[in-house]
């Protein structure tokens, strides 16, 4: 994991005040998290990010291909739990383990913060860990697509956390081999959702690919919903409720 990154403005983040949540940002090296909890937990969040990053950095130091591979890598007996989660997500998605890194970090931190806040929302590079007690709508940001900012995914309260992870060829610095403006996966496993979102985006080179790509995503064990946007075309399957966003 590089020690420096040039941050792109994340215009989809809002730090609105509310009685329900405290909202804050935590940056640790290349990890840039937007967090909503019932109280300000900046130090606790930063500590959890460092713990998670340490596991990943050890794996990279032991075998540099963990950082660079675009294909699944083999497990090692010495791998830490977060590293194993990333490797296994990559195997299911057909990607390298780092395709799961943002989701894995969000999930590690999110589970840690649930000990201090019954509701937690963490966004990490377009990958979102969610545990809420009331319905929530997650907006889809898809660059210049006419759907961008106009539709969202409604998330109902669940007894276990949920993840909504998005990959894009046109938004942000993430590597995509396709052309999707948004490739979004809903799953209870954030690392898996992140990796499969990458795999979904890789398969969307033209608008005619969208239907087959979301069908592929739904074959991956653990995926609950899949959505792909390319220009003025959209495809969605699974347990995913799309709602309009006013304005």
CB neighbours (10 Å) of residue 27? Answer: 12
Confidence of residue 6 (pLDDT cuts 50, 70, 90): very low
Q: Which domain holds residue 204?
A: 22-244
Among the residue ranges 17-31, 81-95, 100-114, 181-195, the one predicted with the least confidence is: 17-31
Largest CA distance in the chain: 51
Q: Output the pLDDT for position 7.
A: 34
Among the residue ranges 13-22, 80-89, 163-172, the one predicted with the least confidence is: 13-22
Of the candidates 34, 14, 190, the one whose C-alpha atom is nearest the C-alpha of residue 111 is: 190
Residue 202 sits in a domain whose CATH number is 3.10.520.10
Q: Give how many domains the chain has, as a whole number.
A: 1
Q: Judge whether 59 lies within some domain.
A: yes
Q: Judge whether 14 lies within some domain.
A: no
**First-residue to last-residue Cα distance in the chain:** 38
Q: Output the pLDDT for position 246.
A: 76
215 DSSP assignment: H
Q: Judge whether 16 lies within some domain.
A: no
Answer yes or no: are the C-beta atoms of 241 and 154 closer than 8 Å.
yes
> Average pLDDT for residues 133-145, to the nearest whole number?
89
Phi, psi of 77 (to 5 degrees): -55, -25
Q: Output the pLDDT for position 165.
A: 96
Confidence of residue 170 (pLDDT cuts 50, 70, 90): low
Coil/strand/helix, residue 89: helix
Question: Over 70: is that where the pLDDT of 4 sits?
Answer: no
Q: Judge whether 15 lies within some domain.
A: no
């Amino acid at each position: 994991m590089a020690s420096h990154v040039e941050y792109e403005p994340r215009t989809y983040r809002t730090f609105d005040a509310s009685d329900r949540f405290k909202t804050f940002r935590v940056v640790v090296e290349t990890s840039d998290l937007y967090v909503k909890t019932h109280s300000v937990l900046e130090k606790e969040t930063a500590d959890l990010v460092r713990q998670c990053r340490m596991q990943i950095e050890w794996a990279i130091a032991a075998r540099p291909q963990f950082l660079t591979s675009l294909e699944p890598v083999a497990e090692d007996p010495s791998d830490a739990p977060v590293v194993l989660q990333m490797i296994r997500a990559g195997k299911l998605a057909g990607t390298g383990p780092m395709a799961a890194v943002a989701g894995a970090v969000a999930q590690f931190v999110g589970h840690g913060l649930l000990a201090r806040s019954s509701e937690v929302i963490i966004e990490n590079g377009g990958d979102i860990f969610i545990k809420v007690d009331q319905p929530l709508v997650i907006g889809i940001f898809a660059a210049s697509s006419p759907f961008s900012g106009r539709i969202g995914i409604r998330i109902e309260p669940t007894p276990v956390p949920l993840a909504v992870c998005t990959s894009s060829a046109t938004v942000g610095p993430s590597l995509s081999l396709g052309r999707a403006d948004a490739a979004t996966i809903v799953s209870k496993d954030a690392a898996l959702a992140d990796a499969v979102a990458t795999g979904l985006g890789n398969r969307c080179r033209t608008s005619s690919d969208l239907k087959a790509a979301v069908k592929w995503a739904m074959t991956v064990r653990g995926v609950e919903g899949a959505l792909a946007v390319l220009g003025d075309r959209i495809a969605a399957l699974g347990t995913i409720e799309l709602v309009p966003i006013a304005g």
